[in-house]
Amino acid sequence: MKYLKAGNIRLFWVTTFVYLFLIFNSLQFLQASDSHAAAQGGEIDVAGIMIHHVTDTHDWHFFDLPGEGHYEAISIDLPWLIYDNRTGISFYPTTEDLLHSGKYILEHGKVAAISFEVTSINQLAHHVEEDFKNAGGKNIELDSLYWVNLFAREHYVLVQDHNPNFPPRLYKLDMESTVLDLSLTKTSLQMVLVGFAMILVFISVAGYYTRRKGQGPKGLQSFVEPVIVFIRDQIAIPHLGEKKYARFLPYLLTLFFFIWFSNLFGLTPLNSNIAGNISVTLALAILTFIITLFSASRSFWGHVFWFPGVPLPVKFLMMPVEIVGMFTKPFALTVRLFANIAAGHLMLLALIGLIFILGKGGQSVVGGLSISPLTLAFGLFIYCLEFLVAVVQAYVFTLLTAVFIGQAMADHSHDHAEDHSSTDHALAGGSHH
Amino acid sequence: MLLEAAIGVMGAGIGAGLVAIGAGLGIGNLAGKALESMARQPEASGNIQGAMVLTAAFIEGVALFGEVVCLLAVLAGK
C-alpha cells in the first residue's frame, strides 16, 4: 500500500477515524420500528427518527438491541421534577414511577394532571353529565350530544399504549391545576455534560498557567491559548475597544466554547443535539440581547427613538423601524445557529435513512446497496463539513454578539452634533439581517 | 392526505429548492469574487479567506431561514 508512507500515515488515520464516526452515526437507526409499521412489512420510520433526534425528550435513547421477541431499549431514563399549583413539587426518578403515581399521565409526551381514573361506562356517563351541568349546560339531550362530545374530549383523555398487556385507560383531567415541567430533559443533561467538559478543559489549562509561569505553552494549553488570543484580538478588541473589552470577554469566550463544544458533541454517536434545539439558541440570543440593552449608551437610545439628522416625518418613521431592528438581531442569531446545526444533523440522518427507505427496512438488499455509495460519499462530505460548520457558527455567533454590544456602547455624542448624515449611519449600523 | 395539506407540502418542497438556488447563487458569487481577488493579490489571501468564510456563513443563515419556514410548512401540514 504505497500511500502508507510516513507522511501519509496521519491522513490514513484521520480517514479511518472519520469513516468510523460516520458508521457510528448510523447507530440511531438500530431501533425497533413502530408496531404498526412492523405489521406492514418491517419499515423503519425514518421521519420519526429524524423528528425524535431534534425534539427534546425525557429519556436519552441511544439505540435498541434485539432481544428474545422484543427490542431492548438502550437509553437513560431521566427523572421528572414537576411543579403543580395543587400539590407543589413532585419528583419521580423514572417515567414508570410517574405513570404509576396516580396523579399524572403522559398525553402526547407532555405531562398532565389527572383527578381520577374512570373505570366503567356508567361512571363515565354520570361524571360527564354532572360536569356538563356544573359547567352551565342544560340536561343532556340527544341534539346536544355534539357539545357533550366536545366537552368530554376536553376533560377526559384516553391513554393507550398499543401494548396487549395494558388495555386503554380513561382518565379525567384536572382542569384547575397548571403543571410546570421542570425536569432535567435530554438536552439539559447534554448541556450539563458539555459544561463539565468545559470546566475540565479550562481548569486544567488554568493550572498550566500557574505552574508554568513564564514558560512556553505545552499540551492542552498550546491548543486553547491561540483560540482565546484569537477571540480577544480579532473579535473583542476591534469591536468593543481597548478600554472596555475586558468586561465582556468572559461572556464571549464562554459563548464561543459552549457553542463549539456542543456542536462537536453533536457529531459523536451519542445522539446528542444541543444547538439544534431552538430553545437553547433562543436562550443564548436573549442573553446577548439583555447584555446589549444593559450596556447601551445614551446615544444608542437616542438613535432608536429619535433618529438624529433626518427630517421630522422620517423621525417618526424610523422609530418603529429601529425598534423592530432591535428585535430582529437576536432573532436572526437564534434562527441562524438553530437552522445550521439542526439542518446538518437532519441531512446526515436523512442520507443514512435513504438506505433504509430504498432497502424497504431490510427486505430489498439491492435497493439498499444501490444508494450506499452515494450515501457514504455525500454523507462523509457533509460530516466533514459539519466540523467546519461547528466552529464557524460559534465564531459567527460570538462575532455578532461583540458587534451588537459594540454598536450599543458606541458613543456618537462627541463625534458630531446635529449634522449627522444618514449615509454615515447606513455604513455603521448595517447589520440588520 | 387532503389536497390542501398535499399542496402545502408540495409548496414547502418547491420552496426548499428555491432557497437552495438562492444560497447557491449568493455563495457562488461570493466565492468567485474572492478567488479572483486572491489571484490578483496572493499576499492578501489570508484576509480574503477569513472574510469569505464569515460572509458565507451569513448568506447561509439567510438561506436557512427559508429552510426553517419550509420545514414548518411540512410539519404544520401533518
- Is A403 an interface residue toward B (CB < 8 Å)? no
- Is A271 an interface residue toward B (CB < 8 Å)? no
Q: For chain B, how many structural domains are there in total?
A: 1
Same domain, A169 and A206: no
Q: For chain A, how many structural domains are there in total?
A: 2
Query: Is the residue at B78 inside a domain?
Result: no
In the predicted structure, residue A242 carries a pLDDT above the cut 50: yes
Same domain, A229 and A112: no
In the predicted structure, residue A129 carries a pLDDT above the cut 80: no
Cell of A351: 442520507
The pLDDT of residue A331: 92
The pLDDT of residue A142: 46
Same domain, A176 and A190: no
- How far CA A373 is from CA of A26, A350, A355, in Å, comes to 15, 15, 10
User: Where does A26-106 have alpha helices with state H?
Assistant: 35-39, 46-54, 95-100
Question: Is the CB of B62 less than 8 angstroms away from the CB of A392?
Answer: no
Q: Determine the average pLDDT of the residues in A218-232.
A: 90
Query: Is the residue at B11 inside a domain?
Result: yes
Query: Is the residue at A51 inside a domain?
Result: no
Of A149 and A356, the structure prediction assigns the larger pLDDT to A356
- The whole-angstrom separation of Cα A270 and Cα A300 is 45
Question: Is the CB of A332 less than 8 angstroms away from the CB of B61?
Answer: yes
Confidence (pTM): 0.83
- The whole-angstrom separation of Cα A339 and Cα B70 is 12
Domain span at residue B49?
A: 3-71
- The whole-angstrom separation of Cα A392 and Cα A336 is 11
In the predicted structure, residue A84 carries a pLDDT above the cut 90: no
- The whole-angstrom separation of Cα A188 and Cα A90 is 19
The pLDDT of residue A413: 61
Of A343, A395, A396, the CB nearest to B64: A343
Same domain, A215 and A123: no
> Which of A181, A215, A245 is the last residue before a domain boundary?
A181
Same domain, A206 and A159: no
Same domain, A270 and A402: yes
Same domain, A193 and A175: no
Query: Is the residue at B27 inside a domain?
Result: yes
Q: Determine the average pLDDT of the residues in A288-302.
A: 88
What would the pLDDT profile of A331-379 be if each residue is shown by its tens digit?
999 999 999 999 899 888 888 888 888 877 667 788 888 888 888 888 8
In the predicted structure, residue A290 carries a pLDDT above the cut 80: yes
Give pLDDT < 50 ranges for chain B: none
The Cα of A339 is separated from the nearest Cα of chain B by a number of Å equal to 6
Of B78, B18, A120, the closest CA to residue A128 belongs to A120
What would the pLDDT profile of A152-169 be if each residue is shown by its tens digit?
777 777 777 666 666 777
- The whole-angstrom separation of Cα A203 and Cα A189 is 21
Same domain, A325 and A383: yes
Same domain, A162 and A252: no
Query: Is the residue at A88 inside a domain?
Result: yes
Least confident of A44-58, A190-204, A252-266: A44-58
Least confident of A196-205, A213-222, B3-12: A213-222
In the predicted structure, residue A2 carries a pLDDT above the cut 70: no
What would the pLDDT profile of B52-70 be if each residue is shown by its tens digit?
888 888 888 888 888 888 8
Q: How many CB atoms sit inside 10 A of residue A410's CB? A: 18
> Which of A126, A148, A181 is the last residue before a domain boundary?
A181
Same domain, A218 and A325: yes
Same domain, A175 and A303: no
* Residue A44 backbone class (left: φ over 0; alpha: ψ -120 to 50; beta: rest): beta
Which amino acid, residue A340? N
Contact (CB, 8 A) for A205 and A218: no
Q: Determine the average pLDDT of the residues in A30-51.
A: 61
Same domain, A166 and A197: no
Contact (CB, 8 A) for B76 and B18: no
Under the banding of pLDDT at 50, 70 and 90, the label for residue A427 is: very low
CATH code (residue B44): 1.20.20.10
Q: Return all residues near A409 (Cβ < 8 A) that are at least 6 apart.
A: A240, A241, A244, A295, A296, A297, A300
Domain span at residue A260?
A: 186-428
Which residues from B are below 8 Å from A when comparing CB atoms?
53-54, 57-58, 60-62, 64-65, 67-68
* Residue A109 backbone class (left: φ over 0; alpha: ψ -120 to 50; beta: rest): left
> Which of A156, A181, A206 is the last residue before a domain boundary?
A181
